[in-house]
Amino acid sequence: MSPLTAIDRGNNIKPIGPGVYIAVCYGLIDLGTHENPVFGGDQHKVLIQWELPEVRGEFERDGKAVNLPRAISRRYTLSLSDKSHLRKDLESWRGRKFTDDELDGFDLRAVLGTPCQLQIVHETGKDGRVFANVAAIMALPKDTSQPSRPENPIAYFSFEETGDKPELPELPDWVRDIITESKEWRKSMKSNATSTQPSASSPDTDDEDNIKF
């Protein structure tokens, strides 16, 4: 399987209002493996990002003010088991169940650029702040006009495809922080640090009995 929530972290930006919205997926981000603080064990996480074409906001890009769709995302455990949230949401999004062949390895990149409907609800955190969360994903009704391609650049990242030297795309700081806390990232940084250590120089001698450490 290709390895590969939605909240607004800006202090001065109001959360997206509750309701059902047309959305387009523009991001699929491998968050890596993290220890579950509640149940223990490791879980591989993935983030799916959507933009809402009809909900606009003023943002800064390359030093210029631009009007772009608001964005929202949801974090999943990378699993298509019977009880997984990812499987439930993907099947609802597609409007059909997975086949046995698809369950043997479904390429999640298929969601990029794909429209859907999102049900967004408000939840209150422990600090009293209100967050907009994705409660459900649904396929578009058949008579609904299809949105165009995402206005945001497609964002994709997979540890399996980056090798030993992962390079992150442009991502919000809070997403980058999650990735850099993953076991895959720490392993790659440790490996790179070891590989860049200077090698020991050979001594200036032809004495074959000289012991080298």
Residue 204 lies in a domain: no
State pLDDT tens for residues 181-207: 999 999 888 876 655 444 333 333 233
Residue 133 lies in a domain: yes
Number of domains in the chain: 1
Residue 116 lies in a domain: yes
Residue 55 lies in a domain: yes
Residue 97 lies in a domain: yes
- Determine the pLDDT at residue 144: 78
Residue 193 lies in a domain: no
DSSP the chain: ----------TTSPPPPSEEEEEEEEEEEEEEEEE-TTT-SEEEEEEEEEEEEEEEEEEEETTEEEEEEEEEEEEEES--STT-HHHHHHHHHHTSPPPHHHHT---GGGGTT-EEEEEEEEEE-TTS-EEEEEEEEEPPPTTSPPP-S-SSPPEEE-HHHHTTS----S--HHHHHHHHTSHHHHHHHHHHHHHTSPPPPPPS---TT----
Mean pLDDT score, 47-70: 89
Mean pLDDT score, 103-125: 93
| Verdict on whether the full-model pTM lies above 0.85 | no
The residue range of the domain holding 93 is 19-183
Residue 208 lies in a domain: no
Residue 4 lies in a domain: no
State pLDDT tens for residues 66-86: 898 999 999 999 999 999 999
**% of residues, the chain, pLDDT over 90:** 54
